Amino acid sequence: MARAAASGAAAESGCVVRLMQAAETQPGDVLAADGYIFATPENLAAIAGVMKDFFDRTYYPVLGRIEGRAYASLICTGSDGENAARQIARIATGWRLKEIAAPLIIRTGAQTPEAILAVKEIGEADLARCAEMGEAMAAGLVMGVF
Ligand SMILES: Cc1cc2nc3c(=O)[nH]c(=O)nc-3n(C[C@H](O)[C@H](O)[C@H](O)COP(=O)(O)O)c2cc1C
């Protein structure tokens, strides 16, 4: 999903796209970007622990320095996803970011331990929606509409 969003954004000329793992992303990376797409699974009705760690490490170092920048979120879940989306929205509100699209929640339907531990296949139509989000983010940034 994140790769699809990045590809969609990269299709827009004039926009530099960086696809980064939460664990490697530092406050300087957050400051360097004009917009963000946060992508995470929902685990135990929450964003992934590594995503929470990313926000914990970067929240205060960039607070007050990224206000008004664009963001959107991609959530991969078994059946829900609403709470992970809400958590990101709360954090983004604290940062005073501007939501440019509703959270895109892709539900894999995984419910059993076997299904949850299996590698998931995200369908073409859902990947296209992720790519569209990336394209919309990049186009808006390039045109200066956000
Ligand atoms: C520990 C754990 C907790 C989970 N909790 C939720 C949950 O609260 N709500 C939900 O819809 N799916 C939940 N899931 C299912 C995942 O969101 C689902 O497997 C999704 O595909 C995550 O992406 P992944 O395939 O990269 O793990 C959970 C999965 C794990 C491993």
**What is the position in ligand 1's atom list of the atom closest to the CA of 115?**
19
The closest residue, in CA terms, to atom 20 on ligand 1 is 77
In degrees and rounded to multiples of 5, residue 119 shows phi and psi of -70, 130
CA of 20 relative to ligand 1 center, distance in Å:
21
Q: Calculate how far, in angstroms, residue 99's C-alpha sits from the geometric centre of ligand 1.
A: 24
Place of tokens 């709360």: 90
Q: Give kind and range of the element (H or E) at residue 36.
A: strand 35-43
Q: Which residues line ligand 1 (CB under 6 A)?
A: 41-45, 76-81, 108, 110, 116, 120
* CA-based end-to-end distance of the chain: 23
Q: Which of 77, 111, 121, 126 to mutate to test the pocket of ligand 1 (most atoms within 8 A of CB)?
A: 77
- Taking CA atoms, 104 is separated from 40, 64, 66, in Å, by 11, 26, 23
pLDDT tens-place values along the chain, 146 residues long = 999 999 999 999 999 999 999 999 999 999 999 999 999 999 999 999 999 999 999 999 999 999 999 999 999 999 999 999 999 999 999 999 999 999 999 999 998 999 999 999 999 999 999 999 999 999 999 999 99
Nearest Cα neighbor of 32 from 73, 61, 2 is: 61
Of 76, 88, 59, the residue nearest 5 (C-alpha) = 76
